[in-house]
Structure 1
């Protein structure tokens, strides 16, 4: 008997390289917009409240429209939705400086544009992951490695985008930086246009698909456990992120350079972790990988509540963030590949919507906690929560779920539905 050839590493696929390049370029544009647009609002209106409203309006459509957006991805395909999303973002971002210079941009019109950008993001996020899976194939190790490299691109963009936007804003102003942001989305669309089209029968837009995707996620014990743990870390880590500037003020004499060091450690640790996951993804099953990563992150987070020099605090933050991609990349890989193909566009958006809801709630709750409780007590609570998530993942890995049969679906695939 001939053994099946081992799947190629993701970076050897020209399709994957184009997807990663497009993701990096569009993420740089997104990060530049995240800094330039609020700064533009603050400088033109002088109102921090209006600036905050822009943030809320932009993120609100993502959890609200995440599941319906999955229907759109299933109907049109990930490639088409991503390209259309890039083109739409190009037009919407460029509309801000165009209308402002023409004297046709009242604040309500800006909010409409920002809301439309959020609507595009609701479909764009799930389409990106599906496009990634299409470019790699169905091997779990390859998809886990690909997702880790995907996160490497986004983590690197978090360094490049804000830094580039800050330098450019100082030279040309936030308004003109938005032109550059629009150009990055146009470049991303051009990179994806060369990908081969995937022939598929269009799936009818049905609420049954969306409901069945959510039900499948909750019925499958593997996906349910992985999603719960990943959501737990996604809720806890924003508390740590918000704690970093507070820690710099309380423990290190309000030194801004220490705050910058801690934030840089966050991004650097995440970037290193994604590279490590990409290298080891083929050697470890997704559930075991997530268990190891969750346990490592929980152990390191127990060091944060204690007073220590700034250098060791930075190393602790970097180490905790380095372990987290070992949880998120396998979780996304399983959420992408384990469901039947006709339900895949409807499962991942359910998880994405939950994360986008949990993150702002976590930031709001953390602000209240830090107002009323000592810093160390809040961080100890985070360590307790992370430990519980790690125990859940370790129990899942112990039960060897990688051989478990996925549950049956109540909704038949599209080609079995009579028209």
Structure 2
């Protein structure tokens, strides 16, 4: 028997379509900057360590400000925070080429700007996910599919943005690409203006709500395990991303087109993976889906250290990233739906911080490692770490195997994709 929730598509919601359009627009510009800014630093300074420092400074505020950002989202609402984040990001991104043209962009000023962008992102990222839930409801299968489609938009941008950026950088220079990113944020804000406002379920009048969110996260075995796995991927995947421009410089004659295509392969593989996850979301429990994605990513990452032609390297990058949405989409769906409604604005940023807390360390350490070790050695260590994360997710999947009574839909209790949520919560804790 197929339930109404199972038949419902997130794309039927005009609000969801508006959120997806805004995300895709801003992500196109962001992904172009993901190549343009580090390429500018790498080619002008010749230092992978400085390139890594730019990534570190930009991502560092996200885990540091996760809890205050959660209070801000709970107080202002996801819509207002997202629009404010878009406008702020547009101004900050435009400041980089503006100051450079005026010969007022020393390296320390660039670090200040990217740090401010990171401060905006600390609230923006969690607000985006809350806005997604507000647009499609609370059914777990629908939210998982919605998260997969949301990541389809971002990963498609990862496919298009870097490839276009590689061409534009070669023609017009890296910093001129930043103007497109600034414009994309402005368009994203305009797309979100018409969304309805949502009143918070409870008034976040004190910081004890954040402590309750932390306690809930560590008390819930499923979210706790997923947070540890996310911490691992948050440490490993930035190293892979940072390796791509280094590989283009060291192995492929410093060709920006190669760097663009490698980052595009990252986005293309992720886009393909999100399409598959959206179809599997109602047929497979989120924990099983995450475990399968972790195993697939770990296997493919073992091929990444090999010295190979750029074509096969791009295929390997795409194949590895194809499995990542199977981990992230179910994890985000459970993060948003398992906690009580009044705790969601506080659990979401804490869980997100688990992903980002390791990233500043990873970017900083990776930049130094690439100056002193072979890229293949560092990428081998990444494959080992991904294998450990996969084992962690496999153990969680075995421990949360649904019992016979939770195998099919139930009209009396909340179900998602044929899984009894009440029974599953009792088994997974």
Judge same fold: TM > 0.5, yes or no: yes
Aligned to 1:298: 298
Report the CA distance shift for 1:368/1:171 in structure 2 as closer, same or farther (over 3 A).
closer
Q: Compute the TM-score of the two structures, normalised by the length of structure 2.
A: 0.79
1:124 aligns with 2:144: no
Report the CA distance shift for 1:275/1:3 in structure 2 as closer, same or farther (over 3 A).
closer
Aligned to 2:147: 147
Aligned to 1:23: 23
Report the CA distance shift for 1:202/1:115 in structure 2 as closer, same or farther (over 3 A).
farther
Give the alignment of 1:19-418 within 5 angstroms: 19-34=19-34, 55-95=55-95, 112-165=112-165, 177-201=177-201, 203-244=203-244, 256=255, 262-305=262-305, 311-367=311-367, 369=369, 378-400=378-400, 403-405=423-425
Give the distance between the partners of 1:308 and 1:183, measured in 2 at CA.
37
Aligned to 1:417: none
Give the distance between the partners of 1:112 and 1:312, measured in 2 at CA.
38
- Shift, 1:247, TM fit: 6.1
- Shift, 1:371, TM fit: 5.9
Give the distance between the partners of 1:364 and 1:267, measured in 2 at CA.
23
Q: Which runs of 5+ in 1 are unaligned?
A: 408-419
Report the CA distance shift for 1:298/1:114 in structure 2 as closer, same or farther (over 3 A).
closer
Q: Compute the TM-score of the two structures, normalised by the length of structure 1.
A: 0.81
- Shift, 1:391, TM fit: 2.0
Give the distance between the partners of 1:243 and 1:178, measured in 2 at CA.
22
- Shift, 1:299, TM fit: 2.5
Give the distance between the partners of 1:276 and 1:260, measured in 2 at CA.
25
Whether contact under 8 Å (1:141, 1:281) holds in the other structure is yes
SS at match of 1:405: helix
Q: Which runs of 5+ in 2 are unaligned?
A: 402-420
Report the CA distance shift for 1:46/1:206 in structure 2 as closer, same or farther (over 3 A).
same
Report the CA distance shift for 1:260/1:164 in structure 2 as closer, same or farther (over 3 A).
closer
SS at match of 2:65: helix
1:299-337 CA-partner distances (Å, limit 9, x unpaired): 233344556666544433322211111011111111111
Give the root-mean-square deviation of aligned CA atoms: 3.8
Report the CA distance shift for 1:265/1:219 in structure 2 as closer, same or farther (over 3 A).
same
- Shift, 1:186, TM fit: 1.9
